[in-house]
């Protein structure tokens, strides 16, 4: 037996211990059981952001941008029906040219056809919507980003007027 064999050994030189702790938090943000004007407003803003990114060349392809236009028009149209005073919201929507165009596009997309005398609308390209009253009549084009921006502007004015807070540049 050598002198070192019975002695305690020092293992601390050059050794270290690292503890790694991983904390994973999970959570889920839910949606209310019934549609709300807030949800419709957020959907309209999100659709406009997709189309703005498309126009800036920063993101979605033309198919995704076209679907976003349709989704934005659906949200804009549905927002009226989810306000505290539903009838006042629907009256405001009917009186505003941008909101009326969004409704016409949404109704045409939803039903596929429009009754005689009703304006039909569709997304012709990611950049342009087209509206017409008579199937054989003249087409009235409208830029998609301008349409969704005008819908955001119009709803922001109305929502603020009836005392509901929204984040959107002053229109």
The helix/strand/coil state of 129 is: strand
pTM here is: 0.78
**Cβ proximity of 126 and 54 under 8 Å:** yes
**Cβ proximity of 131 and 102 under 8 Å:** no
**CA 29 – CA 111 distance, rounded (Å):** 32
The CA-atom distances, in angstroms, between 12 and each of 16, 17, 28, 132 are 8, 10, 46, 84
**CA 13 – CA 19 distance, rounded (Å):** 18
Reported as a single tens digit per residue, the pLDDT across 17-57 is: 444 445 455 666 665 566 699 999 999 999 999 999 999 99
In this prediction, residue 152 carries a pLDDT of: 98
């Amino acid at each position: 037996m050598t002198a070192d064999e019975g002695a305690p050994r020092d293992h601390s030189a050059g050794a270290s211990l690292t503890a790694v702790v991983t904390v994973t938090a999970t959570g889920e943000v839910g949606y209310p059981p019934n549609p709300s004007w807030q949800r419709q407003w957020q959907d309209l803003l999100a659709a406009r952001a997709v189309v703005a990114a498309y126009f800036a060349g920063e993101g979605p392809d033309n198919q995704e941008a076209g679907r976003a236009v349709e989704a934005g028009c659906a949200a804009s149209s549905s927002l009226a029906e989810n306000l505290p005073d539903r009838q006042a919201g629907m009256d405001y929507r009917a009186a505003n040219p941008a909101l009326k165009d969004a409704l016409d596009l949404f109704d045409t997309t939803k039903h596929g056809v429009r009754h005689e005398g009703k304006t039909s609308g569709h997304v012709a390209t990611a950049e342009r919507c087209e509206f017409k009253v008579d199937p054989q009549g003249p087409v009235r084009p409208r830029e998609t980003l301008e349409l969704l921006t005008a819908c955001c502007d119009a709803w922001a004015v109305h929502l603020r007027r009836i005392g509901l807070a929204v984040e959107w540049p002053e229109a």
